[in-house]
Amino acid sequence: MGMKGRRKAIVPPGAQTVGPYSPAILARDFLFISGQIPVDESGELVRGGIEEQAARCMENLRAVLTAAGASFSDLVKVTIYLADMGDFQAVNQVYSRYFELEPPARACIQVAALPKGARIEIEAIAYLGK
């Protein structure tokens, strides 16, 4: 028995993807959010360093969460992909501003390259059940 009728694409207003995928899929009580890279509404990479890129990824994540009626407190697992693990501390400083108590479980992985030459990509899973 498939998920037909129990899965729904979540697409925030103005969202752009760089491939054939949905920004997020709501499957029953779980929201699976595709990797967010630091692009603005025009689809262009934001200017600035890793701090600006990390903040834009988090704001893009917020847009998807909001479109699903969720917030950062609903996140249960986050995966951060970095082009350079040397950016780890700077990313943590930006990332920590989005969570007050009990941040979600997380992994951080260095990768060889990311779409559009981004230095960071963030994907996440949220639980929306009661």
Question: Which pLDDT score is estimated for 129?
Answer: 92
pLDDT at 3 over 90: no
Judge whether 2 lies within some domain: no
pLDDT at 94 over 70: yes
Question: Which pLDDT score is estimated for 1?
Answer: 41
Phi, psi of 3 (to 5 degrees): -90, 10
Question: Which pLDDT score is estimated for 4?
Answer: 62
| Total of domains in the chain | 1
Q: What percent of the chain has a predicted confidence (pLDDT) above 90?
A: 85
Nearest to 55 by CA among 106, 104, 97: 97
Q: Which domain holds residue 115?
A: 7-77+87-123
The CB density around residue 120, as the number of other CB atoms within 10 Å, is 28
Judge whether 1 lies within some domain: no
Sign of CA dihedral 91, 51, 114, 36: positive
pTM: 0.93
pLDDT mean over 62-80:
97
CATH number at residue 99: 3.30.1330.40
Q: Is 3 exposed, middle or buried (0-12, 13-18, 19+ CB in 10 A)?
A: exposed
Question: Which pLDDT score is estimated for 18?
Answer: 80
